[in-house]
Chains A and B, each alone.
Chain A
Amino acid sequence: MNKLPVQRRDVIKAILLATTAPWVMQSKGAFASSCDNIVRLGATYSPDSMNPFATWSSFWPTVFTYDYLVAVDAQRHSDRKGFAKEWSVADDNLTWTFKIWPGMKWSDGKSATARDAAFTYNYLRDSIGKPDELNAGWNSVDDGLKNVKSIIALDDETLQIVTKEPTRWPLDNTILIVPEHIWEDISYADARSTFRNDPPLVGTGPMIVSEFQQGQFVRLTPNPYFRNGQPETAGLILHHFDTADPIAQGLKSGALAFGLGLTAAQWADLSKDPNIQVGESRIEQRNWLAFNCASGQGEGSTKALQDPAFRDAIGYAIDQKTIVERAFRRHADPGVGLVYPAASDYYSDLSDIRRHFDLAEAGRRLDAAGYRDTNGDGVREDKEGKRFQLELIAGTRGGNLQIPIAAVQLIAGWLGQIGIPVSVTQLEPGALSARAAAPAKGGGGWDLLVSNDWGSPAPASLLRLGNRALIGGQNQSYWINDNFNQILSEVQVTIDLKKSQELVDQAARLIYTEAPYIMLCYPFLLQAHRKDCFEGWGTEDFIWSYFPVDRLRSK
């Protein structure tokens, strides 16, 4: 009777030994990073397609493969130039001339010339107004392109862009230059939807996407024809994750060399590991509280939201310093105005008009604006006599760094203390998009929105939160102001940097005073890399287009 269990135990033991032995024997060395000069980078993003005309979320892989014409990197860092080697503008401030790198080649060995750049821009431009206008991805029609009169290749090395009005768009635009010989036969309908652009891609960047496994990784290999010579690294593998936990564990085990988008807790934990170097970078993300300023369709529960005096008073009840310290564990700059510190050419701390945290002051201003607690029940009433009960919706846009719920709770707590109760609804990105859409598209109906956007250091991007043409898109407060739009129009036709800075400052002050948004903070991108395989690239700065991992020196 007892024989059977004993035999079973023996069998189980044998099975266990047989199955575990190989893993144990292979042990740690087989799995840990082998320092093979290939950068294994983990990040929380979700690439979907390698077609830059159809994807927003595959920014990192595609930006390693394709070049901008100039963009902000080349303006900030002389060794980070894009498709163009040099550029100049004529005295009329309308005619731009770009000299393309002589003898440059695509990664398939074919010549990369000014004709490819002209093709890319004209491909987009010619789609304007068509039913299948190219507006579905990173390479998208924008207002700057609509201001272009002509884009022609004068010869293989010279590109000429003539604009209708003066603009810095030819320098600042972030359109990725694609090879004409790949894209010339792709219809607009296919380019914005069904064309997948399967690897290996053909680009002029330092690293070319050679393999894309959905839900797992993108593998990039050095471009053999890269204009500045071979990258320092033998390749790059971008692993993508839904959460940052596997990234932190991968860094510890050595499976990953670089990790991006870590949480504060993971960052603090990794900082204790002697094999890991942690870092943080200023980025172009801003986290804000938006008021629903819509009137009529999509408006909020009270007309007070449309009153600048009400919004200004609320601004005194938000303590950005505490949000940074408690919700972000100091991994952020406190919020001030529209312009983030990462846009160093345009940043101002607005010290002369800045609000300070003072709940009593907020209360006094609400009283003065006519929002009093007349019946003494602790809750204020609006001018129609209705008790305040605001709905705050919160959520993070896809691809952006998460906003800790603690920040939202702090805001709700402060508003409650000044007699404005708030109920919080946390939304996933899809639901957030639906509710924050333009009222004409079924959005609106909320009162307060805590969310974020990630832009660029260019003026149009900095000011887009107030752009009336982008209501329900990037303008999330539905705020409309003619003066602001006038300034925006002027900025878009201004080339001179100083003049541009003055106009951005004017716009930033106007929107700060009107307060459709209260800036909460500008979060840092938390990152870490292992010290055993690579030296850093010499700076902790976030490079706007891509991380310069191609310049990493291996040990």
Chain B
Amino acid sequence: MATCGQGGRTSRRIGGIVLRAIVTLLMVAILNFILFRVIPGDPAGLLLDGSRSAVTSEQIEAQRERWGLDRPLIPDQVLDYLSATAKGDLGYSFKFRGQRVSDLLLDRLPATIALVGVAQIIAISAGVMLGIYAGWRRGGAVDTIATGGSLALYATPSFWLGMVLVVVFSTKLGWLPGYGAYSPGADTGSLAWLADYLRHLVLPASTVALGIMGQYVLVARAAMSDVVAEDYMVTARAKGLTSGQMLLRHAFRNAMLPVVTLVTLNLGYVVAGAITVETVFAWPGIGSLTVGALNARDYPVLQGVFLLLGTSIVFANLIADLAYGLLDPRVTQ
């Protein structure tokens, strides 16, 4: 009975989390729709912006009709928007004429996931290890250097850090490319192309990784510092466990709770790209697409980017909520 009751509670909890995520997503989609309708300026006018000769009202009206802008905002346009979004149809770009927003996002997404994903993996593995060790050996040389370094990196603007890396490793030493994702003319998909891609990835990924590593170090260190002062650690030591055993069997798992939260939340931002870093390195990801869309007032693309970002954050929160339940059984009780 008790097990059945606990299982029911768990199911209800998971159901509640998923339902909350779905409602949040719906709200994100609706807000996204409203946001771009309250901005001044007629989208039909934007489509005709820059014309060499005077544009007639008939031409503006034709564009409004072509893109469904002549229909009532509520409920027609909003329902059309929600229905199309559910089918993955995010409309056409104003700037990149002839291209669907969904195609543009899918085209740029791999570069961003590669950049921010690799950077997150580096930052998480290096940052967490360093933070755990610094917390485990509080007050030691590693702790002092790691804490100071993390604060400095955390406070350093990533575009500046990127420029420094470009000047040193690309301009001065000539070791690595300073811009772009791969060299023109390469046979896409070949091993040579992959090697070239990885060479181009090193500097931007390092910039992003260095920028976010600091927070992992600091959170992991703080969590570990709390854990080492717990009674069960004293008990473990009294039982004769070695430092390594205490660290791996007891301290590490308990210190992971806040780190997991941070990791899952940050994963939500993977698809958002790193706008400044992508700009510095001319990296063709979602970040540089966003900058281009902002400059051109490409509302459909911006709407798509915001929706993608909102969705990924909601999804990351969902994962965090579910993972927390697994890591800490008290949450489900």
Interface residues of chain A, those whose CB is within 8 Å of chain B, are: 1, 3-5, 8, 23-24, 26-29, 31-32, 46, 48-49, 51, 54-57, 129, 131-133, 135-136, 140-143, 146, 189-190, 192-196, 211, 213-217, 219, 237, 239-243, 245-246, 249-250, 252-255, 398, 428-431, 433-434, 437, 441-442, 469-470, 473
Contacts and interface: CB of A to CB of B under 8 A. Distances in A.
A3 B247 CA distance: 14
A398 B284 contact: no
A212 to B, nearest CB: 10
7 contacts: A28-B173, A49-B98, A215-B292, A398-B296, A434-B40, A473-B51, A473-B54
Interface residues of B, number: 68
A215 B284 contact: yes
B81 to A, nearest CB: 19
B282 A241 contact: yes
B62 to A, nearest CB: 3
B114 to A, nearest CB: 14
Given A398-B296, A430-B295, A431-B297, 19 more contacts: A1-B244, A4-B244, A5-B133, A24-B175, A28-B175, A56-B50, A141-B53, A142-B52, A196-B98, A215-B292, A242-B279, A242-B282, A246-B166, A249-B166, A249-B179, A254-B174, A255-B170, A428-B295, A473-B51
**Which of B47, B53, B54, B180 has its CB near the most chain A CB atoms (within 10 A)?**
B53
Contacts of B202: 23
A470 B55 CA distance: 9
Contacts of B181: 216
B97 A239 contact: no
Given A194-B92, A196-B98, A217 B243 contact: no
A49 B166 contact: no
Given A48-B96, A146-B53, A195-B98, A242 B281 contact: no
**Which of B104, B180, B184, B185 has its CB near the most chain A CB atoms (within 10 A)?**
B184
B321 to A, nearest CB: 33
Contacts of A245: 163, 166, 280
Interface string B163-179: 10011001101111111
A442 B184 CA distance: 43
B174 A253 contact: yes
Contacts of B173: 28
A46 B288 CA distance: 11
B45 interface: yes
A190 B99 CA distance: 12
A215 B254 CA distance: 44
Given A26-B175, A136-B97, A194-B97, A253 B170 contact: yes
A131 B171 contact: no
Contacts of B296: 46, 48, 398, 429-430
B107 interface: yes
Interface in B32-63: 40-42, 45-56, 58-59, 61-63
A48 B93 CA distance: 10
A245 B170 CA distance: 13
A30 to B, nearest CB: 8
B297 A23 contact: no
A239 B95 contact: no
Given A242-B279, A441-B45, A140 B52 contact: yes
A124 to B, nearest CB: 10
B171 A249 contact: yes
A280 B281 CA distance: 26
Nearest to A441: B45
B221 interface: no
Given A136-B51, A441-B42, A23 B176 contact: yes
A135 B52 contact: yes
Given A142-B53, A434-B41, A428 B294 contact: yes
Contacts of A23: 175-176, 199, 202
B53 A433 contact: no
A131 B199 contact: no
Contact of A141 (B52, B58, B289): B52
Nearest to B51: A135
Contacts of A54: 97-98
Contacts of A239: 179-180, 282
B291 interface: yes
B20 to A, nearest CB: 35
Contacts of B59: 131, 133, 135
A453 B166 CA distance: 33
A193 B178 contact: no
Contacts of A433: 41, 46, 49, 297
Nearest to A464: B52
A158 B137 CA distance: 87
A49 B174 CA distance: 33
Contacts of B284: 213-216
A182 B98 CA distance: 17
Across the A-B interface, give the 9 residue pairs with the lowest CB-CB distance, nearest first: A28-B174, A131-B62, A430-B297, A215-B284, A135-B51, A142-B52, A196-B98, A54-B97, A246-B179
Given A1-B242, A428-B294, A135 B97 contact: no
A442 B175 contact: no
B323 to A, nearest CB: 26
Nearest to B202: A23
A545 to B, nearest CB: 17
A26 B59 CA distance: 58
A194 B297 contact: no
A470 to B, nearest CB: 7
A250 B173 CA distance: 13
A256 B59 CA distance: 44
A32 B172 CA distance: 11
B239 interface: no
B40 A442 contact: yes
Contact of B51 (A3, A31, A140, A215): A140
A31 B182 CA distance: 12
Given A49-B96, A219-B184, A136 B289 contact: no
Given A135-B51, A141-B52, A398-B296, A246 B178 contact: yes
Nearest to B62: A131
Nearest to A217: B184
Contacts of B40: 434, 442
A215 B177 contact: no
Interface string B76-105: 000000000000000010011111000010
Contacts of B166: 245-246, 249
Contact of B243 (A1, A8, A135, A253): A1
Interface string B56-75: 10110111001000000000
Given A24-B175, A55-B97, A214-B96, A46 B51 contact: no
A62 to B, nearest CB: 13
A161 B62 CA distance: 31
Contact of A131 (B46, B58, B184, B294): B58
Contact of B167 (A55, A135, A249): A249
Nearest to B136: A5
